[in-house]
Amino acid sequence: MGSTVLVVTALEDLTADRVIEVLNERAVPVVRVDPADIGPALMFGFHLGEESPGWHGRLRTSTREVGIEEVAAVYWRRPSPYAAAPGCIPRQQRDFVVAEARHGLGGVLGALHGARYVNHPSAVARADFKPAQLRQFAVLGLRIPPTLITNDIQEARKFAADHEHIVCKTFRGLPPGEDGRAGAIWTQRIDPCALDETVVVTAHLFQAEIPKTGDVRVTVVGRRVFAHVITTPSGALDWRRGDWGRLVHSPVVVPASVHAALLRYLTSFGLVFGCFDFALTGSGDDPEDWWAIECNPNGQWGWLPDAPAIAEAFADILSMEEDTAHDDARCP
């Protein structure tokens, strides 16, 4: 095995840029690739035979070239969606081309023998469902808000009646519109009187509102934990909604039992890294003050005060300077 780090992400990715900068400072070979560039800007030839248990061959971008057997670690960030080459082709052919690229090129990049993944895309896919996240939080003994997932108006109304205040959250972000621009739907309080039969059209996530004193973002990279309380001047229900430049970040110590649960959580999903969100009640000294909300297995962290240290932690893992103890992070 070689020492090259393969960074799989889109062209514009400031979070990945931070990690690449640290790897360059350490003289670790890095090749950046976006699988969506398949075509003249991304060429490859991969071979598998009786003489080798793993794929070998070359991957060539417009600026770099690497033998995939030289790849020791893969930082799988946020590649662009696969797309067919520009041009007017029938939808069936376009969908076929996209699926072939994803299963062919993506299949090889996700099966590099002995490589360490941060995180492996299949692990991210498993951990990307909020119902699975909430269940695992509960299994690990973390507090979670009372939760209802439903499309039944009667269930929703009963849940609202059982709790003083409830909120509604989305399972996923708002997809891009026809103009290609993405949007967001923030966590919002629900007036029980506003619940109507439109609930039936899709799944809804309702939770009892936690009377929080602040929010906590915990970024876990390997065994290293970075945590800050996030407060907004206006005390917004969802801190993501306002001016991020006005957010107040205060370092906080994660209680030992919560710390241990987060490491076990990552292990349970085969993850090396995750961004956890908590609602905080009280000062945070007591584990009972920590209410687990979600874990983004591919979350953003470049905007956090600890971003330089987090980038170093990523570089430690990708350059094999830290043992994550997560065997699932390696491809057999």
Q: Using CA atoms, how far apart are residues 288 and 76, in angstroms rounded to an integer?
A: 34
Q: Using CA atoms, how far apart are residues 95 and 111, in angstroms rounded to an integer?
A: 23
pLDDT band at residue 324 under the 50/70/90 scheme = low
CA distances from 176 to 184, 202, 261 (A): 10, 19, 35
Q: Using CA atoms, how far apart are residues 329 and 322, in angstroms rounded to an integer?
A: 13
Specify the CATH number of the domain 4-114. Answer: 3.40.50
Please provide the average confidence, as pLDDT, over all residues in the chain: 91
pLDDT band at residue 248 under the 50/70/90 scheme = confident
Which fold is adopted by the domain 211-318?
D-amino Acid Aminotransferase; Chain A, domain 1 (3.30.470)
**In the predicted structure, residue 320 carries a pLDDT above the cut 70:** yes
Q: Which pLDDT score is estimated for 330? A: 64
Contact between 205 and 130 under an 8 Å Cβ cutoff? The reply is yes
**pLDDT tens across 249-292, in order?**
899 999 999 999 999 999 999 999 999 999 999 888 999 999 99
**pLDDT tens across 94-132, in order?**
899 999 999 999 999 999 988 999 999 999 999 999 999
**pLDDT tens across 140-174, in order?**
999 999 999 999 999 999 999 999 999 999 998 78
pLDDT band at residue 240 under the 50/70/90 scheme = confident
Residue 81 dihedral angles phi and psi, to the nearest 5°: -60, 145
Indicate where the chain has its CATH 3.30.470.20 domain(s).
Answer: 211-318
Angle made by CA atoms 309, 310, 314, in degrees to the nearest 5: 120
Q: Using CA atoms, how far apart are residues 296 and 171, in angstroms rounded to an integer?
A: 11
Mean pLDDT, residues 297-301:
93
Indicate where the chain has its CATH 3.40.50 domain(s).
Answer: 4-114
More confident residue, 85 or 273: 273
Q: Using CA atoms, how far apart are residues 86 and 118, in angstroms rounded to an integer?
A: 31
Q: What's the predicted TM-score (pTM) here?
A: 0.91
Q: Which pLDDT score is estimated for 242? A: 67
More confident residue, 69 or 53: 69
**In the predicted structure, residue 234 carries a pLDDT above the cut 80:** no
Mean pLDDT, residues 83-104:
87
Q: Indicate the residue type of 7.
A: V
More confident residue, 255 or 86: 255
The residue among 294, 296, 288 whose CA lies nearest residue 143 is 288
**In the predicted structure, residue 297 carries a pLDDT above the cut 70:** yes
Q: Indicate the residue type of 310.
A: I
Q: Using CA atoms, how far apart are residues 99 and 55, in angstroms rounded to an integer?
A: 20
Q: Which pLDDT score is estimated for 331? A: 58
DSSP-derived secondary structure for 58-106:
EEEESS-EEEGGGEEEEEE--PPPP-PPSS---HHHHHHHHHHHHHHHH
Q: Residue written as tokens 């170093």?
A: 312
Q: In b/e form, how buried is each residue of 211-246, taking b as 16+ CB within 10 angstroms? A: ebebbbbbbbbbbbbbbbbbbbeeeeeebeeeeeee
**In the predicted structure, residue 35 carries a pLDDT above the cut 80:** yes
**In the predicted structure, residue 1 carries a pLDDT above the cut 60:** no
Q: Which pLDDT score is estimated for 239? A: 74
Pinpoint the alpha helices (H) of the chain: 14-25, 91-109, 121-127, 130-139, 153-162, 256-269, 307-318
Q: Which pLDDT score is estimated for 49? A: 85
Q: Which two tokens stand for residue 74?
A: 């893969």
